[in-house]
């Protein structure tokens, strides 16, 4: 995994895990990789992964079961809300970029719709 210098590494690991949950790579009640395994996989200190897991638990996306590991928490409604939130973030970045180029709402919507149609054909 390549990290962006503009955000803390633990936050980028959190974003990666949220994406895995939102896309179904990690399902509700599925166990996450151990802290050490994920640290090896993304080549970071295990303390960084531990911090990401603790923050994800604080946000309610994962739950740690003592002696068992860390698991995806919540239900399918929670996952759907996560997906919607991530989608809104993507759309907000897109709209901000288009506005910086001088496009208005109708032009942005038209371009987005055209691009979506091209992606599905």
Give the model confidence (pLDDT) of 100-109 as tens digits. Answer: 999 999 999 9
Identify whether the C-beta of residue 7 lies closer than 8 Å to the C-beta of residue 51: no
The model's pLDDT over 41-96, given as tens digits with 9 standing for 90+, comes to 999 999 999 999 999 999 999 999 999 999 999 888 999 999 999 999 999 999 99
* Residue 44 structure tokens: 């970071």
Q: How far apart are CA 75 and CA 72, in angstroms?
A: 9
Which pLDDT belongs to residue 121? 67
Contact (Cβ atoms closer than 8 angstroms) between residue 43 and residue 7: no
């Amino acid at each position: 995994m390549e990290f962006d210098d503009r955000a803390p590494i633990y936050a980028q690991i959190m974003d990666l895990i949220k994406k895995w949950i939102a896309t179904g790579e990690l399902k509700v009640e599925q166990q996450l990789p151990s802290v050490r395994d994920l640290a090896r996989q993304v080549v970071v200190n295990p303390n960084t992964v531990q911090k990401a897991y603790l923050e994800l638990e604080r946000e309610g996306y994962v739950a740690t079961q003592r002696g068992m590991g860390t698991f995806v928490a919540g239900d399918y409604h929670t996952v759907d809300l996560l997906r919607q939130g991530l989608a809104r973030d993507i759309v907000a970045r897109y709209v901000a970029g288009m506005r910086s180029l001088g496009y208005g709402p109708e032009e942005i919507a038209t371009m987005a719709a055209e691009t979506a149609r091209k992606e599905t054909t």
